[in-house]
Amino acid sequence: MKKRKRIISLVMTATLGISILTGCSKGDESGKAIEPKSKDSIVYALTSSPTGIFNPLLNDTTYDDAVIDLTYNSLLSFDKNLNPKPELAKSYEISDDNLSITFKLKDNIKWSDGKTLTTNDVAFTFTSLADKGYTGSKYGYVEKLKGAKDYHEGSVDKIEGIEVIDKNTIKFTFAEPYSPGLTNLGSIGIIPKHIWGEVPIAQWKDKKDLLTKPVGTGPYEVVSFTEGQDVQLKRNDNYFDGDVKTEKFILKVTNEDTATGELLNGTVDVIDASNLKNKDIKELESEGMDVTSYDSNLVQYMGFNLRDKKFQDKNLRQAFMYALDRNAMVDKLLEGNGQVVDTPMLPSSWSYPDKSTLNNYKYNKDKAKELLKQAGYEDRDNNGIVEDKDGKELVVKLTYPTGNKLREQTAPIIQANLKDIGVKMELENMEFTALMDKVVANHDFELYLMGNNLSLDPDPKPYWHSTSASDEKGNSAWNISSFKNEKADKLIEQGISVSDQKQRKEIYSQFGKLLNDEVPWAYLYSQNIRKAYNPHLKDFKPYTFNDFDNVKDWYID
């Protein structure tokens, strides 16, 4: 099933640490886990509500991703070693010149409404990404297809590089070698033409009835969606890939303070335990719960709005980096369950630069103050706040989302760190969906906290190429900070034009070093994922990039 991009944020000091488990009702006295309330349903806790954009071409949060992973399929999925394996496609073939990929679909795949999936649906899915009315963020997945740019600009009425050979065979041809091609084409959820083809693409995001009751091919289908509460799903009786062992699946929006209590009481079966203290994890295990841990594909950061003139000075951005005690965040907040990152790439990825070649921005208040001075800011009146040459104090606003305890307590930690170097920070928090509208869609911010969910292929174009930025209000784009750098653009283009992984690694190492120096974000850390679950839930096997790979096999014993 397709994978994700997107969002979370972080941080609190040890002195703010609380025992999340205090007051929770627990399992039985023998230390065995309590039996779940029902064997006919699996209840999976989410810390924030999905937004209701249940379309794999339009979604932009991990919470909507969870619904999409349960209801849609892609041509391929990827195992824990990132090797491709069949999903809707039973096979694929790459041409000798690396320009074409031909997929053959499995036979007799049905949509959840009973209609048959064909390669016309596949062609429609990828053609839609290039439509000039498309409002999502995934055009980059297809723009290298032959004729895609002409179609996007409206000069032709079809994409030359998408060829339906028969109802089960489709061929994609790129205009030039494109190394992320298999991953990008293989990982996008396929949508039904007979549903979405009836609606102008520019109007898709307005069709709440279609978005919240998706017709897909996945193991489950949505019964109801109540924002802020839950998504109720039932088994898809038309599912093509074997029996779905559990009749119902519920994605329940659960406050982080109460999630552990619900797990212990048997009212939820899985929670995200990434933010729990180690002692709380041990307490859960002593009550009979199981915990699994794996690498995250998420990098936590604070973004600068580079449309703002003051943040266009690299000295100021680097000063902020030196002012943040990121090692203390990992040691005290995460208790070692993660690592500091110094560039916007996954430390576990083959593409990550040699750490010895990166500036580690070790916590240094004096260095930070020196860089502030170079940027034109000094405490000229000795009031503890630095001013520019005109006497204007450096006051900045950090916007951050609510709904996650670590996320909410990140902001005051950063505020305190910056106060130590004479920067006054104001805090602004809001619901996650409101933040997405304010920051991502309307670019109305100075600084913001988020987490970047990186994709299977390390291609950074969706987040860092100049063409991935938008300065138009109402137009969302994933180069949120509006970082525009000619050298970065060239490296990105080089990285997707070569197939040899060693060559790509060298190119991405150069890219990583460049962004390590430019710091369009203040990079924080990558936190390991921990899931706590009731041991009565069987065959639960999540891994990096895929929480729901074998979800059809999950059951309550």
Question: What CATH class has 218-269+534-556?
Answer: alpha beta
Nearest to 41 by CA among 256, 245, 291: 245
pLDDT at 405: 73
Helices (H) and strands (E) in the chain, counts: 16, 22
In degrees, rounded to 5, the angle at the alpha carbon of residue 117 between the alpha carbons of residues 116 and 123 is 145
Positive or negative, the CA dihedral 179, 551, 231, 6 is negative
pLDDT at 82: 86
Gap between the Cα atoms of 255 and 47, Å rounded: 6
pLDDT at 31: 64
Instruction: Spell out a b/e string for 438-449, using b for 16 or more CB atoms within 10 Å of the CB, else e.
Output: bbbbebebbbbb
pLDDT digits (tens, 9 = 90+) for 378-398: 999 999 999 999 999 999 999
Question: What's 6's DSSP letter?
Answer: B
Answer for the pair 298, 454: CB distance below 8 angstroms, yes or no: yes
- Partners of 294 in the beta sheet? 529
Gap between the Cα atoms of 413 and 9, Å rounded: 12
State phi, psi for 178 to the nearest 5 degrees.
Answer: -140, 100
pLDDT at 12: 30
For residue 335, what are the CA distances in angstroms to 11, 259, 328? 12, 20, 9
pLDDT at 321: 98
| Placement of tokens 């910056």 in the chain | 418
- Partners of 398 in the beta sheet? 427, 447
Which two tokens mark 432? 């996650």
Gap between the Cα atoms of 438 and 114, Å rounded: 40
pLDDT < 70 stretches in the chain: 1-31, 404
Positive or negative, the CA dihedral 377, 378, 381, 386 is positive
pLDDT at 318: 98
Gap between the Cα atoms of 297 and 53, Å rounded: 22
Find the helix or strand (DSSP H, E) in which 130 lies.
none
Which distant-in-sequence residues (6+ apart) come within 8 Å of 72 by Cβ?
Answer: 1, 2, 56, 189, 190, 191, 214, 216, 217, 218
Fold type of domain 295-529: Dipeptide-binding Protein; domain 3 (3.10.105)
Answer for the pair 249, 553: CB distance below 8 angstroms, yes or no: no
Gap between the Cα atoms of 317 and 372, Å rounded: 9
Find the helix or strand (DSSP H, E) in which 263 lies.
helix 256-265
State phi, psi for 409 to the nearest 5 degrees.
Answer: -95, 0
Which distant-in-sequence residues (6+ apart) come within 8 Å of 421 by Cβ?
Answer: 319, 323, 365, 368, 369, 372, 386
Answer for the pair 17, 534: CB distance below 8 angstroms, yes or no: no
| Placement of tokens 């059809």 in the chain | 552
Q: Tell me how far the alpha carbon of residue 220 is from its chain's centroid.
A: 22
Question: What's 74's DSSP letter?
Answer: B
Which distant-in-sequence residues (6+ apart) come within 8 Å of 108 by Cβ?
Answer: 116, 240
Answer for the pair 8, 451: CB distance below 8 angstroms, yes or no: yes
The model carries a pTM of: 0.81
pLDDT at 23: 34
Nearest to 39 by CA among 459, 499, 538, 451: 538
- Partners of 228 in the beta sheet? none
Domains of the chain by residue range: 73-202, 218-269+534-556, 295-529
Q: How many CB atoms lie within 10 A of CB 96?
A: 6
Nearest to 265 by CA among 32, 531, 24: 24
- Partners of 166 in the beta sheet? 169
pLDDT at 257: 86
What CATH code would you report for 73-202?
Answer: 3.90.76.10
Three-class DSSP category at 345: coil
pLDDT at 210: 98
